[in-house]
Amino acid sequence: MHYKVLFRVEKYDLLEKLKKKIKNLNKYMEDDGHTLDIEVVFSGDVVKHFQGDRNDFLGEDLDIALCANALKAESMEPINNDNIRTVSAGIGEIIEKKSQGWIEFTVE
């Protein structure tokens, strides 16, 4: 079966938890023979992870959506590079993806 999973993270201190959840999900899907698309919507202060050159999500097999409102709140410019893109609003991206059948998982 093919799954489309939308991770949502809003707090910087949950970044490591997000990485573990993605790793665990990928392993589960692989072990059970499923295929998977993953998008991660970053909003809130977690977008500051993308400041400067520190970017361990670049080139990953993930689609990264950064909330423009959150970037602005952190005095950051929009980012569009490889698998990372800026969307006008994180909540809008989530609603759109859910209307397309994506399964949402909020990292809390």
| pTM more than 0.75 | yes
The enclosing domain of 45 has a CATH number of 3.40.1260.10
User: Residue 33 has which token pair?
Assistant: 């023979």
Provide DSSP, the chain.
Answer: -EEEEEEEE--GGGHHHHHHHHHHHHHHHHHHT-EEEEEEEE-GGGGGGGSTT--TTTTSSSEEEEEHHHHHHTT-----BTTEEEES-HHHHHHHHHHTTPEEEE--
The parent domain of residue 93 ranges over 2-106
Number of domains in the chain: 1
What is the chain's pLDDT, residue by residue, as a tens digit (108 residues)?
Answer: 999 999 999 999 999 999 999 999 999 999 999 999 999 999 999 999 999 876 788 777 999 999 999 999 999 999 998 899 999 999 999 999 999 999 999 999
